[in-house]
Structure 1
Amino acid sequence: MLRADEDVALGPLNVAAGSIVRVRDADWLVTNASPTRDGLLVEVTGLSELVRDTRAAFYEHLDDIVPYDPRATTVRADDSPKYRRARLWLESILRRSPIPLGDGRLSVSTRMLSDPLDYQRSAVRKALSADNLRPRILLADTVGLGKTIEIGMILSELVRRGRGERILIVTPKHVLEQMQFEMWTRFALPFVRLDSVGIQRVRQKLPATRNPFSLYKRAIISMDTLKQERYLNHLRNQHWDAVVIDESHNLSGTSTQNNALARVLAPNTDALVLASATPHNGSKESFAELIRLLEPTAVSPSGDIDTHALERLVVRRHRYSPEVAREVGDDWAERMPLQHLLVDASPEADAVAQCRHDRAPDHTPRRKLTCR
């Protein structure tokens, strides 16, 4: 196993892209180093918690830049049973190595804690298809077909391809905990659940110049919290690798806060997944607004939707769809014919009905009754 000793300088500053340095009590990854009149200019990206993903630049003569020296690395033997620690380390490195973007095969989502259903896999393949410049899709399967599973599968594949480092999930408050639970237990994707109090604590923890949505790489927040106007400016300045918006039929009203939130998030993410069992409320304009969030060019200025783009951007199935029926046709319980059954009223119910009948329209009793 390897360990780099801290605070070991190399003498004259000798860093290059890929080096790790310590500046101002934080660790940074060097992205570029170029000589200037004021010495070496080192451009970096933050690694420590408080500066994670923050870009900065330091001059050699103005800051104390301490590189981590690879030559000071100490080699230690792995004394764990059957080299367990070394094997786990190698496995973690392999899992973090992205697979080629052009590889259309599903790599990890088929081995998660869920039943293998081909129609769900086809939705994931459509979302990751090379026909889409960016993974953007509306999951509009009917209730019970597993849209949450499809969301988890898409996110898992994006993470495996190195395109899911920063993920935001926006859901109604009543499904917030369930979505977080499903992502963790089925797909090993941890999300930090935040509310207004949680976001305020983050703002108190970070410097005033830091975006509060930059602290956690993967967060799940309710729509009611996030749509507040005080957060929109922070969201405009924050880029995400993937954004998921559940119950997206709530976004169709162009004058609502929900729609304003979606219009802020959609341009600031590479992948966008909308989910709704009822995406069309009968209004052409409302449905076009959902498609416009996914791909603005798919909707003409007159509001007409490109049918070819619609095939790429929307997945809509029900229990009788051929690919669904092949998988779960026998598992659906057939609805029984409607039956009208006459049930005799009890004496107590008859007494109440009679009591109401004997009252005048102004609710004053016509005659003396005893109602219990």
Structure 2
Amino acid sequence: MLQPGDLVAARGREWIVLGKIAEDLLRVRPLSGSEEDAITIAPALEATPVSQARFAPPTTDQLDTQDAARLLADALRLSLRRGAGPFRSAAHLGVEPRAYQLVPLLMALRLEVKRLLIADDVGIGKTVEAGMILRELMDRGEVDRFAVLCPPHLVEQWVDELAAKFDIDAVAVTSARARSLERGLALSESIFTAYPFTVVSLDYIKADGRRDEFARACPPFVIVDEAHSCVGGGEKGTQQRYALLQRLAENAERHLLLLTATPHSGDQDAYQRLLGLLHPDLATPDTNEGWRRRLARHFVQRRRPDIQGQWGEDRAFARALSADAPYTLTGAHLTFQEDVLDYCLEVATRADGELARRLAFWGTLALMRCVGSSPAAAASALRNRLAGMAEEGALQPILFDEDEDSFSDTDVEPATAFDPEERVALEALIGRADALAARPTDDPKLRELLRQLKALIAKGARPVVFCRFISTAESVGATLAAEFKKHRIEVVTGRLTPEERRTRVEAMSEALQRILVATDCLAEGINLQGLFDAVIHYDLNWNPTRHQQREGRVDRFGQQSPTVWSVMMFGQNSSIDGAVIEVITSKARRIAQETGVSVPVPEDSASVSAALMQAMLLKSKRPGAQGLLDFGAAAARADTVWRNAEEAVKKSRAIYAQNALRPDEVLPEWQRLRALNGGPDEVARFTRRALTRLNAPLGQEADHWRLHYDRLPQRLAERLEARGLTGTRAITFADDPRPDIQHVGRVHPVVAMLAETLAEGALDPNGLDRAAALGRAGAWRTRAVVRLTTVLLLRLRFTLVTSGRRTLLAEEATALAFAGDEQVIGGAEALALLEAEASGNLEPTVIARQIDRALTAIDTHDAAIRAYAADRAAALGHDHDRVKAATRGEGATTDVFPVLPADVIGLYVLVPEAN
């Protein structure tokens, strides 16, 4: 009976059995082919009976050099995708994970149904952590379909990350692309059954009709990014998202990963809804030990200090330096701000009734916020008011930077209610705002920005200037373009589509000197750490979490600069900024320092808005302004809601914070993972050698290489062109390069295809370009041995039987070295003999004689090869048991069996150098 790992002959060639799809169907891969070449056959229907086969050893007409031997060893190692170790996904990873990033994976492995809330800090690497879990389950055969649900501006980023870091080609499902994906499908077919791997826009899928369709066809594995946006308040969009997730969670067998940097933002009900998606028992808060233990199995949350301290990852992140940059309003700018406040107060005093008064307060704060941002934003907001464009229901989320929906929807200057009696006053204020906007260099705020930028640039920094409103960003960008003529200046706002934003940012990589001006549409979605290392907050955040999100675009895992800077600007004599600092910023900073958590404005925004108005009036320079409106104990009420928010955060940290796994439980597995299938050094070594062999050598630059795709052999070049890889590209083998340099890891198409091509060329030299046909035998003189030594390059195959239910194929590339009939060394030590530089060549006749002698003796090594394969199977079994112990797994077993005989891929004779 055929089993995974067996060699069979069918259709005139040899195949490796990958597994049984059904009793009468086999999944097979060509012996000299890749996973992409796998097919399904029905042995009973084959014209020629399927028979077992044996891999042929090398012959004397397949001789080659030591360089070819090294290439073949690396090609075999890098082409194998079915690792035998406890981390089956290791061979598919295009990123080198940090030890702390393995914690969610180990936690997931201990759960029968993988349901986790991964709540690590901004920039720590939640995407990598989730992707590793997904890739592992795919390679274990437990998942064959998945969907990632995320905000629309994150769709392309997820598609790119899955391809580059996890060797997964997913389809983007958005409002713009759904129609083309549906074209040609049968009426009974869904996008989510036709395409097994999807990244889906939450805005697209939340609608009632689509939600039902998705729920019916939903894959067994779902990742939800920015999960906090699905469980918040009463907005319709949030309710729709939560209804979708509730329905998905009702299937108790569905794997569900929830990702968010802000799991608890002060809203206890929203937090409990989030936990309830993990398990119904967690929806109701409790403090008993059993409830806490259950939560600890599903919840992992680490802050930056946890990573740097407990996990010793000081070098994983840049050193963060922050500073305040106060400026002083003078002259016309100070007078204009006070006059707009007077105008707003007149409007507020005329308001009749509680609702009208509250809307007047919000309208006042919205206008004053624009005035504090820039004269351009003030002019735009005043014009919007004059045009009667008010959308009163939308004022609160814009005013307090609520982020239930895409940030790009909230950087337009808000409109406020308009009374016809105000026309003359409004038109006069608009004229003054336009006049101030026309003289940007007179603006004290803008002058301070220029001073801060020059200081940062002198330190070698590459800054991002974050503004609150579109008009402000465009005005600032125009001024900077005139001031910094040698820099590339770009402005990115919500006027651009997500694709246009990404293109504009990535195009900046061509300039060595660059400054980006952006609104909060870039506070999520596009990682900026490759191009920038400094953030200037031109406008104060009224929601403190936005401050963190802005900085998290550059201060995150993968930042190459040793230092990142953040600068917060504010008007020290501005009634607007002074009120915000007093009522919001200072209180949020204190909570963050004491708890390690950045909290948004409390849900009782009415108390906060009243306190803002009161503080603004108290800080006004106009005599009598303080007595125009009576806010009573507004400041005290605001203090109370902040204290409540702080207590909620402290309580949640005390109850929910836990250390899922200790470093000493994870670090050994991390070390084995790094060494398992070849890291960045091995990838770089192989790629350089392979391209030189194919007459397309890399060009070396100061900090990167240049890869010439158009110089590759035709068949290989065509395959890469189909993946969009043509011309000449700047590449590096180091993780997280800047955007203009492409990272090349073991799953990058050029590495994968080179490895497959060279391995296949050795096994089937007539099937490919002659340049790729490596020989499988050779001999040379070396000082690395003292006796005549034969090195056998082996491909070992194993079957992994998991919990008695699933049989999987695993492969491993290794080597054994023999001196006479005695096995000397094996594994990495034997492979290292091939790397030791030859001390001299041998005559062709001597090489042929040595290879003939070694081939004659190859059968005498069979017992040693079998024993080594059995030992490796036992060691791999122990590795699986050790990981099971580390994850406290119960009942899950993995039995490892060698599939014999092993394949002798290469045979090399090392002749000791005579003294």
For residues 18 and 310 of structure 1, the distance between their equivalents in structure 2, rounded to whole angstroms, comes to 42
Which amino acid counterpart does residue 245 of structure 2 have in structure 1? A
Query: What SS does structure 2 have at the residue aligned with 1:108?
Result: helix
Paired with 2:222 and 2:184, the residues of 1 have a C-alpha distance of 25
Q: Matched residue of 2:198: which SS?
A: strand
Per-residue deviation, 1:311: 0.7
Q: Is the 8 A contact 2:137 2:143 kept in 1?
A: yes
Indicate if the aligned counterparts of 1:135 and 1:271 stay in contact, CA closer than 8 A: yes
Q: Could you tell me which of 286, 290, 306 is aligned with 2:274?
A: 290
* Correspondence for 1:262 among 245, 249, 254: 245
2:172 & 2:196 partners in 1: Cα distance? 12
Amino acid of the structure 1 residue aligned with 2:46:
D
* Superposed displacement of residue 232, structure 1: 2.6
Aligned to 1:274: 258
**SS of alignment partner, residue 311 of structure 2:** helix
CA 1:252 to 1:229, structure 2 compared with 1: closer, same or farther past 3 Å? same
Q: Is contact 2:82-2:139 (8 Å) kept?
A: yes
Q: Are the aligned partners of 2:92 and 2:167 in contact in 1 as well (CA < 8 Å)?
A: no
Match of 2:108 among 127, 144, 167: 127
Alignment match, 1:116? 97
Q: CA deviation at 1:273?
A: 0.5
Alignment of 1:97-116 (within 5 A): 105-109=86-90, 112-116=93-97
1:1-372 matched pairs, under 5 angstroms: 4=11, 17-20=22-25, 68-69=45-46, 71=48, 95=81, 105-109=86-90, 112-129=93-110, 132-253=111-232, 256-268=239-251, 270-300=254-284, 303-304=285-286, 306-321=291-306, 326-330=311-315, 331-336=317-322, 338-339=323-324, 341-342=326-327, 350-353=331-334, 361=343, 363=425
Take 1:290 and 1:357, find their aligned partners in 2: how far apart are those partners? 44
Q: Which position in structure 1 is the counterpart of 2:812? A: none
Residues 13-60 of structure 1, C-alpha deviations (whole Å, 9 max, x = no match): xxx943249xxxxxx9xxxxxxxxxxxxxxxxxxxxxxxxxxxxxxxx
| Aligned mates of 1:90, 1:332 — CA distance in 2 | 34
User: Which residue identity does 2:301 align to in structure 1?
Assistant: R
Contact 2:120 2:260 in 1 (8 A): yes
Q: Secondary structure of the residue that 1:294 maps to in structure 2?
A: coil
Cα pair distance change 1:173/1:17, threshold 3 Å? closer
How far apart, in 2, do the equivalents of 1:222 and 1:123 lie? Answer: 24
Query: How far apart in 2 are the matches of 1:119 and 1:324?
Result: 11
Q: Is the 8 A contact 1:114 1:186 kept in 2?
A: yes
1:333 to partner: Cα distance: 1.6
Q: Structure 1 residues 232, 2: CA separation in 2 closer, same or farther (over 3 Å shift)?
A: farther
* Partners of 1:249 and 1:276 within 8 A in 2: yes
Q: Which residue of 2 aligns with 1:58?
A: none
Match of 1:39 in 2: none
Hey, what's the Cα distance between the residues in 2 that align with 1:196 and 1:358? 45
State TM-score, norm by structure 1: 0.66
1:246 CA drift (Å)? 0.2
Matched to 1:293, the amino acid is: L
Structure 1, residues 69-102: CA drift from partner, whole Å, max 9, x if none? 2635699x9xx999x9xx999998x7458x7xxx
Q: Give the Cα separation in 1 of the matches to 2:277 and 2:314.
A: 34
Unaligned segments of structure 1, at least 5 residues: 6-15, 22-27, 29-64
Distance 1:334 1:110, change over 3 A: farther
Distance 1:180 1:327 in 2: 31
From the superposition, tell whether residues 234 and 88 of structure 1 become closer, same or farther in structure 2 (CA, over 3 Å). farther
Are 1:168 and 1:240, in contact at CA under 8 Å, matched by a contact in 2? yes
Q: State the distance in 2 between where 1:356 and 1:159 align.
A: 59
- Measured after TM superposition, the shift of residue 319 of structure 1 is 0.9
1:339-366 residue CA offsets vs partner (Å, 9 max, x unmatched)? 4545585xxxx3454577789957398x
Counterpart CA distance in 2 for 1:267 and 1:247 is 20
Secondary structure (helix, strand or coil) at the match of 2:104 reads helix
TM-score (norm 2): 0.29
- Cα distance in 1 between the residues matched to 2:272 and 2:185: 39
Greater helix share, structure number = 2
CA deviation string 1:269-323 (max 9, x = no partner):
53210000001122222111111111123334xx547211111111111011166
Cα distance, 1:356–1:209 mapped onto 2, change above 3 Å: closer
The CA distance in 2 between the partners of 1:110 and 1:307, in whole Å, is 36
Matched residue type, 2:124: L
Conserved in 2, the CA contact under 8 Å of 1:168 and 1:219?
Answer: yes
Structure 1 pair 234/89, CA: closer, same or farther in 2 (3 Å)? Answer: farther
Structure 2: gaps (5+ residues):
1-7, 13-20, 28-41, 57-61, 344-421, 437-915
Aligned AA for 2:250?
P
**8 Å Cα contact 1:193-1:220 kept in structure 2:** yes
With 261-270 and 141-150 compared, the bigger mean Cα shift is at 261-270
After superposition, what is the alpha-carbon deviation per residue over 1:100-144, rounded to whole angstroms, capped at 9, x for unaligned?
xxx8x4343487233431111112111221xx2211100100101
Partners of 1:181 and 1:140 lie apart in 2 by 22
Decide whether aligned partners of structure 1 residues 67 and 140 sit closer, same or farther in structure 2, where only a CA change above 3 A counts: same
Return the offset for 1:67: 6.2
Q: Taking every aligned residue pair, what percent have the same amino acid on both sides? A: 25
Are residues 137 and 70 of structure 1, via their aligned partners in 2, closer, same or farther at CA, if it must alter by over 3 Å? farther
Instruction: Quote the Cα distance in structure 2 between the aligned partners of 1:357 and 1:288.
Output: 44
In 2, Cα distance between equivalents of 1:344 and 1:165 = 61
Kindly state the Cα deviation for residue 191 of structure 1 after the two structures are TM-superposed: 0.6
How much does 1:335 deviate? 3.6
The number of residue pairs the alignment matches comes to 302
* Separation of aligned partners in 1, 2:325 and 2:214: 55
Change beyond 3 A, Cα 1:307–1:70: farther
Deviation string, structure 1 residues 163-194 (Cα, Å, up to 9, x no partner): 22101111101111111111110111111112
Per-residue deviation, 1:212:
3.3
Q: Pick which of 257-266 and 319-328 moved more.
A: 319-328
Q: Is the 1:279–1:287 Cα contact (8 Å) retained in structure 2?
A: yes
Contact 1:202 1:215 in 2 (8 A): no
The offset of 1:267, in angstroms, is 3.5
Which one is further off, 305-314 or 250-259? 250-259
Distance 2:266 2:308 in 1: 26
Structure number with the bigger relative contact order (C-alpha 8 A, sep ≥ 6) is 2
Distance 1:115 1:311 in 2: 26
Counterpart amino acid of residue 284 in structure 1: Q
CA RMSD of aligned residues (A): 4.3
In the alignment, residue 113 of structure 1 is paired with which amino acid? Answer: G
CA contact (8 A) 1:232 1:264 kept: no
How big is the shift at 1:243? 0.5
Q: Structure 1: how far apart are the matches of 2:76 and 2:184?
A: 32
